Amino acid sequence: MPSLIDYTVDDDLYTVGSRLDVYYPPSKRARFSSLVASSDNFDNENRTTSIEVLPDECLFEIFRRVTGGKAKMSSACVSKRWLMIMSSIRSAEICKNEDVEMIHDNVNVECESDGYLTRCLEGKKATDIRLAAIAIGTSSQGGLGKLSIRGSNFVRGVTNFGLSAIAHGCPSLKSLSLWDVPFVGDEGMLAIANDCRSLEKLDLCQCPSITNKGLIAIAENCPNLTTLAIESCPNIGDEALLAIGRCCSRLQSITIRDCSRVRDQGLAGLLLPACSSLTKIKLHGLTITDFSLAVIGHYGKALTTLILCGLQNVSQKGFWVMANGRGLDKLVSLTITSCRGTTDVSLEAIGKGCSNLKHMNLKKCCFVSDAGLVAFAKAAGSLESLQMEECNRITQAGILSALSNSGSKLKSLGIVKCMGIKDHLPLDMTMLSPCESLRSLSIRSCPGFSNSSLAVVGKLCPQLHHVDLSGLVGISDAGLLPLLETCKGGLVKVNLSGCLNLTDRSISTMAKLHGESLEVLNLEGCRNVTDASLVAVAENCLAMNDLDLSNCSVSDLGISVLSFGGQMNLQILSLSGCTKLSDKVMPYLSKLGKTLVGLNLQKCNSISGQSIELLVESLWRCDILY
């Protein structure tokens, strides 16, 4: 069929959608159309012939014989009616002739099975018109493999028709993500289930019109489903999960969040049949009880990652039974957030029952104290990473004892916003063993953590490479210097942002002791750091590639020294809020710019806009914020 209008393929496939206005769904393939004019309406003197007088059924038969991507898109651009009819044609309904002209088109049809194209529609761009255009246009470009819809047009939002168009035209679809699309319901999901049987990943968030019926259809028709996420879908519950567990034997990852109809029965039905393949479970804000955790502990034999958050109906007994179910031998990562049942007893049981646990993350576990932490550290022999946030019963003594009893595998420790940490407790260092394995230490926003605590941690952890002390307003040179002097491994990344009381003494010492290894240094907000620190950095830190001096007291002189720092290969430099810098710093920034890929000059009020514009022109390879 010859092209009706000039058309150039657009990768985003928004050309069709932008040229069409409000969409009117076509009638089903009726055998008769009201568009056929009667003989009385024809004027013999002005008689014209037009394809538009044909009923939808005839147009359907014509369009399913149109071959080639350009011809299809050109036809779809003619009118909304043509676009909607073409988008209703399934791949199986496309005629495949044997003449020479069809050879090229057969190749295009075969390419649909590849499904490597990705499309994402957000907000106002998410309409049925655009989905129909995507369905038609991607068939000649390898087939649509991944579709994400984020939000929906308020007036002409995505409906079942748009999703059905994708289903008809994109049988190669493997990943579908629907967020905040209230007008898509079971009809659209049934279309996806019937036509997109290669679907592997499904993500549903805030889809109130999708019920168990739609998800059951997916389960029964998409056996290759490996990843399923359901969030804030009030009409999806146990019945759907039972179908998923029964039909989707390849399911590896399941996420369920804030779904009020999901209870113990659904989770049990999901786990029992699929226990051989399910490796990741994330449960958030559900009304499940101890029974569900018992099922996980007994049947989760393939689980490697488990995330439990906001399970208010689960008690200490549930966690204890889960840990002692002898089914979590392969569990590697466990995250528990805001669960009242997490106590010292349950934490110790987890340490003993999960023999291969390497990563433990505790957030807002208000009933965990030092006793449980130390017992867990002793029992978890494979533990490599321990992260705690807002666990306010944990004190300085508990952290130090846990470090001393963590064995020889712990590599990373993170403490965030733990308000129970204070310096008033006496410590007997002779009773503590050093943790030679620890490489990364992060203690952030703990106001009670100050100099004496930091000095003790430095002695216990002599092989640190990464240190993050951001937001510790209580530490000064007196606490940081002992840590710098006891670190034997050579610091690589250091974050001291918000440490208001640190001075040039600490930074200069760090540069001299660890200059050969130091690559990343963040001094944002360290108002007592001046040009003296930059002199030490320029002389010693030849491996430095990322330096943040935001809101520090550095001047043009310090940057000039930095620019003559020998073989420095600085790539990221942040000078935001450095009010002492002026236009005189421009030549030095130009010199540094030979290696820079990122430069932040925001809130440098003493540098003129004209100077910055000239710098932007000269450093065209560098991303400059101003």
* Average pLDDT for 331-346: 97
Q: Give per-residue burial for 80-113: e unless 16+ CB within 10 Å, then b.
A: bebbbbbbbbebeebeeeeeeebeebeebbebbe
* Average pLDDT for 580-609: 94
Per-residue HEC secondary structure of 140-159 comes to: HCCCEEEEEEECCCCCCCCC
Mean pLDDT of the chain: 84
Strands (E), 234-392: 253-257, 280-284, 305-309, 333-337, 359-363, 385-389
Structure tokens at 160: 């079942």
* Predicted local confidence at residue 28, as pLDDT: 43
Instruction: Indicate the pairing of strand 412-416 with strand 280-284.
Output: unpaired
Give percent of the chain with pLDDT exceeding 70.
Answer: 79
Number of helices (H), then strands (E), belonging to the chain: the values are 23, 20
Domain residues of the chain, as ranges?
15-41+48-109, 279-382, 395-489, 491-626
pLDDT at 416 over 90: yes
Instruction: List the one residue out of 153, 141, 21 whose CA is nearest residue 81.
Output: 21
Amino acid at 271: L
Strands (E), 400-439: 412-416
Number of residues that make up the chain: 626
CB contact at 8 A, 394 and 373:
yes
* Predicted local confidence at residue 125, as pLDDT: 87
Residues 6+ apart with CB under 8 A from 4: 74, 75, 77, 78
Gap between the Cα atoms of 357 and 348, Å rounded: 13
* Predicted local confidence at residue 102, as pLDDT: 38
Class for the domain spanning 491-626:
alpha beta
* Predicted local confidence at residue 566, as pLDDT: 64
| pLDDT bucket at 101, cuts 50 / 70 / 90 | very low
* Predicted local confidence at residue 9, as pLDDT: 36
SS3 304: coil
Gap between the Cα atoms of 158 and 152, Å rounded: 6
* Predicted local confidence at residue 350, as pLDDT: 97
Gap between the Cα atoms of 462 and 43, Å rounded: 97
With respect to CATH, is domain 279-382 assigned 3.80.10.10? yes
Ranked by mean pLDDT, the top range of 109-123, 422-436, 599-613 is 599-613
pLDDT at 493 over 70: yes
SS3 202: strand
| pLDDT bucket at 83, cuts 50 / 70 / 90 | low
* Predicted local confidence at residue 73, as pLDDT: 61
Backbone angles phi, psi at 307, to 5 degrees: -125, 120
User: Which position has the higher pLDDT, 389 or 115?
Assistant: 389
HSE of 50 in the Cβ direction (CA atoms, 13 Å)? 10
Ranked by mean pLDDT, the top range of 15-19, 205-209, 590-594 is 205-209
Amino acid at 517: S
Same fold, 279-382 and 491-626: yes
Instruction: List the one residue out of 564, 501, 509, 498 whose CA is nearest residue 532.
Output: 509
* Average pLDDT for 270-291: 89
